[in-house]
Each structure stands twice: as structure tokens, then as C-alpha cells.
Structure 1
Amino acid sequence: MPRITTLRSTSIALAVTASLSCGLLSVGTAAAAPAPPGPSASVEQQASPGQGPMTPVPGQKTSRTAAAAAPTITRSDVIERAKSWVGIGLEYSWTGSHAGYRTDCSGYVSMAWHLSSSLTTDTFAGAGVIESISKGDLKAGDALLNDNSGANGHVALFEKWANSSQTSYWGYEFTGSGVHHREIPYPYFSGYGTFKPVRNKSVIDDVVVPTD
């Protein structure tokens, strides 16, 4: 009997110790739990998983350079065109298309800019479409471009600054997880190469009519 009592006491002591340890572990784990992830948490939601080749848009006039065939477009029209692809369930594809434009990052920006072809990140400049600008010159309808080719390149449309310190902006982009309108750190999420601000030469400022 004394031996059984000792074993029971030992078992109870171990159970209490284990219970206390789990309780401390749970408290410790809860205290160390990370904050909810921000927009940069998922790699698959960022940048370009690849791009298709330059693709003419059916029914639109084409020429030796895309710039020559591109009509002028207002900044507000660029943003409205970009909005039209948000939330409609388009899947990223090098070979797919929607409304005549390739369904990848550069095809999406080509659509928003109303170009005659779906260009690629490494052909916007060569086609005479863009010019480099400074950070301080960014306006709605401009873009942040990594002009490398294929999956090493990416482009996002600039809408407006997200804060007065200009450390992040609201932008539109097509990534492997779909078309997004979201806050993006300037110039882009880290680890995806060098991004520079650019402007479509055919974009014009909207005319503001005085209200008084």
C-alpha cells in the first residue's frame, strides 16, 4: 500500500507539472504571436510569375512603334480602365487574354494605357511608350517599372500616395494571385529587383473646370 500511494502521488505531481507547463507554453505562445500579415506577407501575391510575348490587340491600329499608334488618354481614364479588371476573377496567364489584352502584368498596364499591343516590361521603352520621371513627378496613371524580362520584370500602376511621407502608394497590378488594388511600399516590395517611376507619353492631365 505505501508503494501504491507513492506512485499515485508521483503521477499526480507529474500531471500537475505538465498542466502548468502547457499553460505557461500557451501563454508564452499567445504573447509571441505575430501581428496579422500585411500586403507583403504572401510571395505569390507579388510581382510577375512571367510574361507572354508582345501581342497586337485585335481591331486596333498598329505601327512600327506602339507609341505612334497609342491615342492620348487622360489620367482618370487610365485609372478607370485599371479598375475594370479588379474583382472579375481573371487568372494570370502568359497566353490568355481579356478584351484583347494579355492577362499578365504588362498586358494589364498596356490595357490601362490603351496601347495598340500588349507590351512586355522590357519593351515599353523600346517601343517609345514611356519616359523616365522622378518620384516627385508621380501622378495617377504613371507606373513603377522593373524593366527586366520575363519573370524578372514587373510593372505596377500608380494611383496616389498612401501617406504624406510618400513611403507607400495605392496602386493597381496583376500578379500570380490576380488583379489587385492595394497599398504598395515605394517603389515596390523588397526582393523583386529595381523599380523606377515612368510615364506613358500619351497620358494627359485631366482638365479641371473651376466650380466658381
Structure 2
Amino acid sequence: MSKNMTGRWGMAALTALVCAGSVALTAPAAPAAQPPASAAVTARSAAGQVEQAGSAAVRAPGVSRAQVLARAKTWLTANNGRPVPYSQVKRWKDGFRQDCSGYVSMTLRLPAPGPNTVGLKNNGFTRRIAMKDLAPGDLVLKANSNSADLRHVVIFAGWSNSGHTAYKSYEQAGGVGTRFKQHSYGVNGRDGYHAHRPVNITG
């Protein structure tokens, strides 16, 4: 073979090698392994419990609106005829936290000790609705604060007037405990409170 032919074959082999390397470098990487669909997403509550996102909501038994309100009333006198005292860390005899979201979780028959307010909003337990669509047993909650002391949730029990400027509600309030009170949270649309419907409400 001539010297010129040998040079041409050598150059062709070198070019093929460079191209092959280029393809290897630019080939898309294999997709990262995805967690199984059944894997539970967890979130840390304000009180330190680990909550399951979504899966716990699916497992929550159904509850009627009348049952939610009836269960809400029980904490008004559960403490030897007095309201259950408020606490973000203590649990009542039924295993639920004695704060606003623990109380709501009890009324909705969610797993004890109950998700926190952020969990009620984001973890599949509720869905956002318009304030005008509120029905007894629905929730009005504020969860967009970094401070647990500025987050809150109440149980809607019915409108107080035909203008829908205030409503009756059950809540677990700091320094007070369980109470039935008129509120206007969320009515003006500017205070961070929004209406939510529990997904396990049956009617």
C-alpha cells in the first residue's frame, strides 16, 4: 500500500473515532430513577409529627356535614363541662392535638394527631372553593404564613346574615380553647383566609 493511501486510511479512522466520542458525549443521560408511585411524601408539622401527603387523605373515612358539626360541639364541654384548652403540643384524650388544626382533624375523622394547617391545605385533605359556596362543615383557613401563631382554621357552621358578611364557626383558639363564634375571615378576600372543602365530606 502506498504511503498516501496509508495516510488517508489513518485520517479516516481518526475522524470516525472523534465522531464516535462526540456522540457518546452528547447522548442524553439515562433518566433518573423515579420513586414508586406509592411512595409517601412527608412533611414535618409544627408540632413535630411527620405527615403523609395525600395518602392519609385517601384513607380518611367519609364524614357527613352533620357529623362534622356534632363532633365539633363535643370539645365545647369535653373538659369536665368546659372547653378543651388550647395547646400546639399537647394532645387531648382522643389523641388529637389541642390546636386549631388538631381540632378540625378530629371533627373530620382524620388520622390522629392530625395534620397541621399547612397540611390541611396542601396535602390532599381539602380543595379550594369560593367563599360563596361554603356549606356547614367546610373550612376557612389561612396557611400562608411562616409562623404557626399566624396560621388558623375554623369550621364554617352557617352564614350569620343574608349579605354573607359574617358567619358562625367552631374553632380552637389560643388562650380560649374550643368555642363557637361569629367570624368574617376571608369575606373581604384580602386577609389571607380562603374557603376549603374537606375531600372526605360525603354530602
Give the shorter-chain TM-score range.
0.5 to 0.7
The within-5 A match list for 1:35-50 is none
Aligned to 2:186: 187
Alignment correspondent of 1:78: 68
* Structure-2 separation of matches of 1:116 and 1:86: 21
Gaps of 5+ in 1: 1-50, 57-61, 206-212
Task: Name the CA shift for 1:106/1:125 in 2 (closer, same or farther; >3 Å).
Answer: same
Q: Is the 8 A contact 1:52 1:104 kept in 2?
A: no
Aligned equivalents of 1:199, 1:64: Cα separation in 2: 15
SS of 2:83 mapped into structure 1:
coil
- CA deviation digits over 1:188-210, x for unaligned, max 9? 7999x4100000010011xxxxx
SS in 2 for 1:203: coil
The counterpart of 2:85, out of the listed 58, 81, 91, is 91
1:101 is paired with a residue of what secondary structure? Answer: coil
In the aligned structure 2, how far is the partner of 1:189 from the partner of 1:173?
Answer: 20
Q: How does 1:1-212 map to 2 (within 5 A)?
A: 52-54=47-49, 65-87=55-77, 88-98=82-92, 99-117=94-112, 118-147=114-143, 148-149=145-146, 150-176=148-174, 177-187=176-186, 193-205=191-203
2:155 and 2:170 in contact (8 A); partners too: yes
Q: Indicate conservation of the 8 Å contact 2:53/2:119, yes or no.
A: no
SS for the counterpart of 1:124 is helix
With over 3 angstroms needed to count, the CA separation of the structure-2 counterparts of 1:145 and 1:97, relative to structure 1, is same
TM-score by length of 1: 0.64
User: Are the counterparts in 2 of residues 53 and 119 from structure 1 also a CA contact under 8 Å?
Assistant: no
Q: Aligned with 2:117: secondary structure?
A: coil
Instruction: Determine what percentage of the aligned residue pairs are the same residue.
Output: 30
Q: Secondary structure at the match of 1:165?
A: coil
Q: State the structure with bigger RCO (CA 8 A, min sep 6), 1 or 2.
A: 1
Over 4 Å off, 4+ runs: 188-191
Mapped to 1, the partners of 2:132 and 2:49 lie a distance apart of: 31
Cα distance in 2 between the residues matched to 1:198 and 1:182:
19
Structure 2 letter corresponding to 1:97? R
Distance 1:189 1:92 in 2: 27
CA 1:188/1:86 → structure 2, altered by over 3 Å: closer, same or farther?
farther
Give the deviation of 1:97 after TM superposition.
1.1
Q: Secondary structure at the match of 1:194?
A: coil
Does structure 2 conserve the Cα–Cα contact (< 8 Å) formed by 1:168 and 1:187? no
For the structure 1 residues 52 and 159, does the alpha-carbon distance in structure 2 shift closer, same or farther, using more than 3 Å as the test? same
What amino acid maps onto 2:127 in structure 1? E
Deviation digits for residues 78-120 of structure 1 (CA, Å, limit 9, x no counterpart): 0001000013332111221111100001100011111013111
Where structure 2 has 5 or more consecutive residues not aligned to the other structure, the ranges are 1-45
- Report the Cα distance in structure 2 between the residues aligned to 1:119 and 1:100, rounded to whole angstroms: 12
